Every structure is written in C-alpha cells, then in structure tokens.
Structure 1
Amino acid sequence: MKKYILLFMFLGWVFLCTLDAQPREIGLQLYSLRNEFKTEVPGTLAQVKEWGIREVEGGGTYGLPMDEFKKLLAENKLKVVSVGADYKQLKENPQAAVEAAKAFDAKYVVCFWIPHNGDEFTFDNIKEAAEVFNAAGKVLQQNGLSLCYHPHGYEFRPYGDGTLFDYLVNNTDPKYFNFEMDVFWVKHPGQDPVALLNKYPNRFLLMHLKDRKPGTEGNQFGRADVETNVVLGTGDVGIAEVMAAAKKAGVKHYFIEDESSHSVEQIPQSLTYLKSLDGDKKGPKDAKVKNKEEKGKDVKVKKTKVKNSK
C-alpha cells in the first residue's frame, strides 16, 4: 500500500512540474490595433491569428454586426476572454455588463477608469468605487462572470500608511472583484509591479503587458505619450521579473497592449521576447527585434497629494 501511495505522489509531482513547464498563453488587447480595424476588420483579425495569438481582450465589433464579428473570431480561432465595461454602467445597470460579456462568451469584465474631476482624485472617489465594484461584482459573480478593475496610476496617490489603491484592495471582496494589472501603468506612477504582485497574490487575475521607453518621466494623472510604448524587454518595466512574479501570484490571462503607432511591427517582436522567457526560441513569422532601447535608470515621478473631503 505504501508503495502505491509513493507512486501516486510521484506521478502527482510529475504532473505539477509538467504544468509549470507549459508556456503561458499570451493574448492581445485589440485596442492595440484600433487604427487597423478602422479600415480592415477581417484582415486585422487574420493578422492576429497569423501571430499565433488565440486569446483577445475587446468588447467592440468595429462596425460589424455581432454575428458577423463573432463568425470572424471563430474563423480565426480567437477567443474573447474579457470585455470592457463603463463605470457608470456598473454603478447603475450591472446586468447590462453581464449581457454584453455573455454576447462575446467572455468570462471577465474589466472597468478601465474611475470618473473624477480632472487631475483631482480623492478618497471619496475611491471609497465610492469600492462600493460600486463590490455590488456590481456580486451581480456578475451570480451570472458566472468575474469583475476586474484596471488601474491607470492616479489610484497610487498616498493615503494613510499606503495608497488609495491599497484602500481599494482592502475594502473589496475577492469573491466578487479583483484586478487587471497593466505593468506600464503601475511603473509610470512610481510603483513596482513585482512588489505589488507579491503584496497582493491572487488579486491580479489579468495582466496587460506593456513596456516603457527608458527615461520617460512618470506621473500620477493617468497620462502618457503612447509612443513611449516599446517592444517588451527593451524598456524599463522589467518584464522578465514581472512574468516570473506573475506566475507565482496567480495571474490567469496575459494580454500584450501596445498603443504606439508601431504596434503592428512591435507586437510580433514582443511575442518573440515572451516566448524566449518560457524557453521557446520560435516566435511569430518575421519577428526580428528592432529599435532596441538602451536600458536606463528609473526616473522621478510627479506625485500628487490626495484631498480627503471627509
């Protein structure tokens, strides 16, 4: 009997090691190709397939009827994992977000922005957001969906012994609500993506992979020049370290997001880099790394005090 127990333990260990060795699925945030979609939808989706991508984040149909767009997704073997939802919609009518996600057969719904007055982002803003996300997240969870929020930098303003983001994490229920980390938008306001992943394991279910041109000055306003988006592994975010930490922290889905005007050239180069991290030297066709940026030291970030109207 003891022999069989040891055998089962060994087989289980081998199985877990095999899982750990599997390369991660790398998806694409379709916003990266927003300009291409304006003139060519079928061809743009075909290009995504050609790059070897199978998972995407989106939510729009780029002017096509839903049935026609979904047919193109199926033809190109593309699965919509997550879709966006407006904060106001989540606050006033979360059921509409449920229906939109289910129309795409998506599992995750992501809110990308908390409305606020210009550059002023206060404790009251984050407090209300926590309440909205808990309530909407419960509705989504009851419908088999998961709600996440994608920070854009202004959430990392100091508050108490931490930041407003810390308040949001600590005052939301992970059963109903979690996060999508955009590593650029964590680095840009002066935070460390790896430290944040380690601090809050299993709270970041989704991740945007985006690297930043060395020497870029950050801020806590949620603003950046899209041309500071560079090929993954050539910027100052530390993508290799992030990917290692993300695996341990429980990130489930990864999406390259390249908002630059060179995204079509840069995306396959980024895919090649990510594959090399998983030990796969074969990248997408014609993926040769160009425009390598010289690694630079971290730069200062303009920080903003939080107004507490309480």
Structure 2
Amino acid sequence: MKRLGIGLQLYTLRDVIGDDLEGTLRKVAAIGYEGVEFAGYGGIEADRMRDLLEELGLKAIGNHVSLENLETKLDEEIAYLKTIGAQYAICPWLPEDRRSAEAWLKLFVDFEQYGKRFREAGIDFCYHNHEFEFEVEVDGKFVFDALYNRIDADFLKVEMDLGWVQYAGQDPLAYISKYANRLPLLHLKDFRKGDGTPGKRIDTVELGRGDLDLLPLIERAGESGVEWVIVEQDVCANPPLESVAESMEWLKNNYLSKI
C-alpha cells in the first residue's frame, strides 16, 4: 500500500481556533498530522505563517478559497500561497444561487480563467465537491463530471470528498479510479446515517465509526496518483481536537501500521 501524506482540513477545528490559530496548529502538529489545509489564515501574516509551519514540521497543502475571494482577491490569495509554499488552491463550496445549470455554465468559464492564473503562478487549482454536484446535469452528465470534462486538467484538478460522493449515491471507489492522476487531494470523511429528524439526515463521525469502507478507498487512492488524504469532519459530536486525534489514531492503527 502506497504511503500518502496525512493532512487535516482546519475547517474541522473552526470552533476551537477562535483567535488562536497558532496555538491550534501547535496542537495539530503534536497529534501527528503532517500537513494542513487552511480555511483562512486567522489574520496571521504570510511570512509568520511560513516560519511557524517550518518550526512545527507541518506542510502547507493549500487553502480553501471562497468563490468571493476568487472573484475579488485572487492576487492576494496567490501571493499568500506562494509565500507559505502551498501547492493547491481549492474552491470548497458554492452558495445555493450559484448551483443551477445556467449558473454552472458561467462558472465553467470562470474556473478555467482562475485555473490559468494559478497555473501561471505554479499553483494547482482544484474543486471540492459536496452532494449537490450530483443533483444537476450539464451536457447530459452530472455537473461533477461536466466540470472536469469542460476544463483541461492543467487548469482544474479534483479534490474529492469521499463522504459526499457516497452520500450522493455514487460509488467512491469508481470515482477515484475515474479521476486517477487528476486527483491529488482526497478528503477522508466518514458518514453515518442520521435519525431522520431535521438537520440529522447524516452524522459526520470520526474515521472508522461510519458507513464508508475506508481502507479500500485509501488503497485505491494510492494507486490513482493521490498525494494527500485529508481528514475533514464537518460537525464533531465530541470536542473537535478529540475527534481529529481519534481519526489520526485510526489512520495510525489501520493504515500506517500496514505500510
């Protein structure tokens, strides 16, 4: 089984970070994560962030860049990523009024332009899915697939969220294979069906506690050119630092121990 980098999407710890992203990063490094994917920088200047990550032995994987920032602060995002040595900029989500087939057709054009700008700077642009990309079709395909069919791989790569792929009724193993060598980043997210009450259609749970068969997915990822598996838990029932520590322990016991 191929050894992949193990990262954490810091959105998972948003309720912990508060005004102390630096302190949180120190705890993440102590847990054993090798890299971090940002969801904003907590007001820390890029030079200071670069030095802090070097001190902690953490790799800057990339940043989740909002659609608003792609539209209005692209140069600033590029400059920060280059300073901290991150390879990836990822659009993580779209507001509901930007998810129609008509809206997607415009986004295809916009995303290609953002991808070209990032590529010129030596950064790879990616898109992170939820379930709604499998609810609308363009060109007779799910938007998820039409997006990557319309835009060249040089300008848009895949950050696949396995939990949402399965939640949308698709086969995560098949989708990893489908996007082999265009899929550098894989979000590991375990889901368990909720109790059906409003807001409880699903629970995001620590790795190994949900419905996904994770090890075959990680193995397929290693065969498909994935560089980083990134832990993300949208909502933590336990204190978030305990949740990400438990997920890291699962990876140590069930993945790293087998390499």
Normalised-by-shorter TM-score class: 0.7 to 0.9
- Give the TM-score, by structure 1 length: 0.73
Q: Specify which of 132, 135, 153 is matched with residue 131 of structure 2.
A: 153
* Deviation, structure 1 residue 257: 0.9
* SS of equivalent to 2:184: strand
Q: 2:108 aligns with which of 130, 144, 147?
A: 130
User: In the comparison of the two structures, how many residue pairs are matched?
Assistant: 255
The answer as to 2:116 corresponding to 1:141 is no
The answer to which of 167-176 and 42-51 deviates more is: 42-51
Matched, 1:276 2:253: yes
In the TM superposition, 1:256-267 aligns within 5 A as 256-259=231-234, 260-262=236-238, 263-267=240-244
* Percent of matched pairs sharing the same residue: 31
What's the CA shift string for 1:100-138, capped at 9, x where partnerless?
322322110001123442xx8321122112111111111
Do the aligned partners of residues 255 and 149 (structure 1) sit closer, same or farther apart at CA in structure 2, a change above 3 Å counting?
same
Give the drift of 1:88. 3.5
In structure 2, what is the Cα distance between the partners aligned to 1:216 and 1:251?
A: 34
Q: Residue type matched to 2:231 in 1?
A: I
Alignment-mate amino acid for residue 124 of structure 2 = S
Amino acid at match of 1:137: G
Q: CA deviation at 1:279?
A: 5.2
Deviations 1:274-303, CA, capped at 9 Å, x for gaps:
233435179xxxxxxxxxxxxxxxxxxxxx
SS of aligned partner of 2:251: helix
- The answer as to 2:2 corresponding to 1:27 is no
Q: Does 1:247 align with 2:247?
A: no
Q: Secondary structure at the match of 1:280?
A: helix
1:4 match = none
Per-residue deviation, 1:226: 10
1:106 to 79, 86, 94: 86
Q: Which residue of 1 aligns with 2:209?
A: 234
Distance 1:71 1:88 in 2: 28
Match of 2:171 among 192, 196, 201: 192
AA partner of residue 140 (structure 1):
F
C-alpha separation in 1, matches of 2:78 and 2:21: 25
CA contact (8 A) 1:90 1:136 kept: yes
TM-score by length of 2: 0.86
For structure 2, the 5+ residue unaligned runs are none
Question: Does the 8 A contact of 1:90 with 1:133 survive in 2?
Answer: no
Query: How far is the alpha carbon of 1:75 from its aligned partner?
Result: 2.2
Assess, with a 3 A threshold, how the Cα gap between structure 1 residues 227 and 33 changes in structure 2: closer, same or farther.
farther
What 5-or-longer segments of structure 1 have no aligned partner? 1-20, 218-222, 283-310
Aligned twin of 1:71: 51
Question: What CA distance in whole angstroms lies between the structure 1 residues aligned with 2:201 and 2:79?
Answer: 32
Q: Which amino acid aligns with 1:189?
A: A
Partner of 1:292: none
Q: Tell me, yes or no, if the aligned pair for 1:37 and 1:44 is still in contact at 8 Å.
A: yes
Instruction: Give the number of the structure whose alpha-carbon radius of gyration is greater.
Output: 1
